[in-house]
Structure 1
Amino acid sequence: MDLYRTIASEYSHLFPSSPEKFRAIETQLTAIGARDLLDIGCASGEFTRQIAAPGRTVTGLDLDEEMIREARLQSGTLRDLSFVRAEMTGFLQKSPPGSRDALLCLGNTLAYVDGHEELEQYLTQAARVLRPGGYLAVQILNYSNPAIRPGFVFPLLETPRISFSRRYVALETDPARPPSPETAPSVPARGYGFETRVTHKETGASLTDLHLHWPFPAPLLQETAARAGFSRSQVCGDYQGTPLTQQSFFALLHLWKNR
């Protein structure tokens, strides 16, 4: 992805982590005594580095090679911290059962899962990889919010060197992939087009990208997770633990595997 190669060195400035995000996740990790963690969709690794701590083995996973290169560069010689370039569902499939205490899937990463069938597969593999009582955190846009649909424009992000714009656009329905009874009408047959543009301020040169986002609503994620082997869940509308409402911008799901 040329666009993401362009912004890799700027990513932590465009999407800085927050103390509230760290506290929300760290509280859950501490509660289960998590020692072996996988951060899925880690990008340049800022949050992965934040949750690294003595006694923990932390792995960051991302599909983009330049993001992984930047994550390794910024991490220096930190011990028990590594970064792997791989596709998330395939990586979980190849991971040994019961090998992780916690999995993190933040930053709307789960929207890249391609449809309901792959979502079920992903959550089933996540449960398999977790140890009994293990924890999965999912942060995803609140697709029950009527504003977050094709035509929605995300806030413009800027650094001294670049600007980064994002919006949702409509995609034509694929007749070969009609919505299933489980997802219709809550999940469109093709999802949303996620259009991004990075512009260099000095030269005016720009790059654009278009990817598919599946707008999974939180109730669907809870139901699918329960079938996959997660016996307990909590859904919040922010990092402070406020209940999710229709107006919430994102959903944060805390999911725990059966003991």
Structure 2
Amino acid sequence: MADTQNKFYTSISNTYSQIFPYNPAQLQFATRNVVDLTGQQILDIGCATGELAFQLAKSGAEVTGIDLNEDLLQQAKTGKVHPNLIFQKGDMLELQNDFQSKSFSTVICFGNTLVHLPSRELILEMLQGVYMILKPGGFFLLQILNYDYILSEPVTELPLIETENITFFRRYVFEENSPLISFQTELYLKKEGEVVKNETFLFALKSNELRELLNNAGFEDIKFFSNFKEEPFGGKHLPLVAKVAKPY
């Protein structure tokens, strides 16, 4: 499954920043919760082309961005250069091997990255790794999609993304008695007249399951929001944004 996901991100790597442009609300969310970014050690898991990591570094933080996809990482390394910023290839299941215990004051994982892991067991393993590398009192800032809403409707299509150069279709196909969703995409490159089709699988992680796994990993003070503005969670909205703390 990891190979399939890597192929998917390679296929959209050249247009990734057009499909998923930098969202200033993410930086504002981090700034509100970290308060003073100066000198803070931050890990950005699934950093992609490095847009958010670069903005955090510009704001004074010492940032490490990790991603599995080398095409996205290469864009980050060449396009987002800052003395407080390091990009490296990294697997979110290898955090305990790649970083020392209590290395970071904040760990960020946005962009529905977490649910690329195909089981509760692997998600818990990842969360335990985050817990280990966080300093006591540190924060884990997370964003996935709201699978409570997606599964209950069900939501079979995500909003169309269209720019001058691309059109990006995203569909969900559900299988009975399976927590995995087939995420099917079509990227239309207007100038080239080409269509890039792909499929990857996502774990439909509900909010109560996420809360339970975060608790099992050791986190406390778990707060869920409907967006990066920290509006209340619940109802018909696509994002699930979480702020959780590692106790002192």
TM-score by length of 2: 0.89
Residue by residue over 1:229-259, the C-alpha shift from the partner in whole angstroms, topping out at 9 and shown as x without a partner, is 1121111111221110121211111010011
**Distance in 2 between the 1:197 and 1:85 partners?**
27
Q: Look up the match of 2:138.
A: 134
By how many angstroms is 1:167 displaced? 0.9
Report SS of the residue matched to 1:213: strand
Give the % identical residues: 28
Q: Look up the match of 1:163.
A: 167
- Please tell me whether residue 60 in structure 1 is matched to residue 65 in structure 2: yes
The verdict on how the C-alpha distance between 1:34 and 1:214 changes in structure 2, with shifts beyond 3 A counting, is farther
- Please tell me whether residue 42 in structure 1 is matched to residue 47 in structure 2: yes
Would you say the 8 A contact 1:38–1:58 is kept in 2?
yes
The verdict on how the C-alpha distance between 1:38 and 1:148 changes in structure 2, with shifts beyond 3 A counting, is farther
Q: Look up the match of 2:222.
A: 233
Q: Look up the match of 2:86.
A: 82
The verdict on how the C-alpha distance between 1:217 and 1:116 changes in structure 2, with shifts beyond 3 A counting, is same
**Distance in 2 between the 1:210 and 1:41 partners?**
19
- Please tell me whether residue 219 in structure 1 is matched to residue 224 in structure 2: no
The verdict on how the C-alpha distance between 1:32 and 1:50 changes in structure 2, with shifts beyond 3 A counting, is closer
**Distance in 2 between the 1:34 and 1:256 partners?**
19
The verdict on how the C-alpha distance between 1:146 and 1:14 changes in structure 2, with shifts beyond 3 A counting, is closer
Q: Look up the match of 1:201.
A: 190
By how many angstroms is 1:155 displaced? 1.8
Would you say the 8 A contact 1:37–1:57 is kept in 2?
yes
Q: Look up the match of 1:118.
A: 122
Report SS of the residue matched to 1:135: strand
Report SS of the residue matched to 1:119: helix
Q: Is 14-23 or 40-49 further displaced after alignment? A: 14-23
**Distance in 2 between the 1:158 and 1:109 partners?**
22
Residue by residue over 1:65-114, the C-alpha shift from the partner in whole angstroms, topping out at 9 and shown as x without a partner, is 100001111113x1120111222112344321111111101011111112
By how many angstroms is 1:190 displaced? 4.2
**Structure 1: any 5+ residue segments left out of the alignment?**
174-187
Residue by residue over 1:189-221, the C-alpha shift from the partner in whole angstroms, topping out at 9 and shown as x without a partner, is 341011122222133322222111001112211
**Distance in 2 between the 1:137 and 1:90 partners?**
18
Cα-Cα RMSD: 2.2
**Distance in 1 between the 2:212 and 2:101 partners?**
22
Report SS of the residue matched to 1:235: strand
- How many residues in Structure 1 have an aligned counterpart in Structure 2? 243
**Distance in 1 between the 2:96 and 2:198 partners?**
27
TM-score by length of 1: 0.85
Report SS of the residue matched to 2:158: coil
By how many angstroms is 1:22 displaced? 1.8
Would you say the 8 A contact 2:26–2:52 is kept in 1?
no
- Please tell me whether residue 22 in structure 1 is matched to residue 11 in structure 2: no
By how many angstroms is 1:63 displaced? 1.1
Report SS of the residue matched to 1:68: helix
**Distance in 1 between the 2:137 and 2:37 partners?**
8
